[in-house]
Amino acid sequence: MSVFNSYGPCRGITLFRYEQLRVELWYIPAGYDIVEHRHPKEDVELMYIFGSSAFFRRDIRVGMPEMFEPKFPRDLFKTFSVKHYHSHWFSVGKIPLVFINFQTFLAGNEPVSAADDFLI
C-alpha cells in the first residue's frame, strides 16, 4: 500500500485503511481540470475541505449530469457521493482544492488509491 499517491499534478496521502475502507486527503492545484472518469470498484464520498471547484457527477445508467459547487467556509465538510455507477469530473478555480475521499470498495476488490482505480 502506497501512502503517497499522485495523478498528474494532483497529490494525495492515505490517512487510513481498514478492510474495504480507504481514506485519502487530496490536493488539486488551481486551474486544473480532472477529466470525466469512473472508479468502478468503489463507492466514494468526497468531503470538501477548501478551495474553489465545480464537481460534476453523472449516473451512467441515466446520463443526466448534476453539479456541486462548494464555497468556503459555508460548505466545509459537506460531502458529495460518487457511486461506482457514476462518472464524475471537476474543474478547479483560482484557489487550489483540498478534499478527503472516503472510499468503500465493493466486495472482492482490494482497496487501492483513487488514482489507481481510475477509468476514463
Q: What is the pLDDT of residues 97-107, one digit of tens each?
A: 999 999 999 99
For residue 99, give its domain range.
Answer: 4-105
DSSP character at residue 106: P
- Per-residue pLDDT at 2: 77
pLDDT < 70 stretches in the chain: 1
CATH number at residue 47: 2.60.120.10
Average pLDDT for the chain: 96
Count of domains observed in the chain: 1
Answer yes or no: is 112 within a domain. Answer: no
Burial of 8 (0-12, 13-18, 19+ CB in 10 A): exposed
Answer yes or no: is 117 within a domain. Answer: no
Answer yes or no: is 41 within a domain. Answer: yes
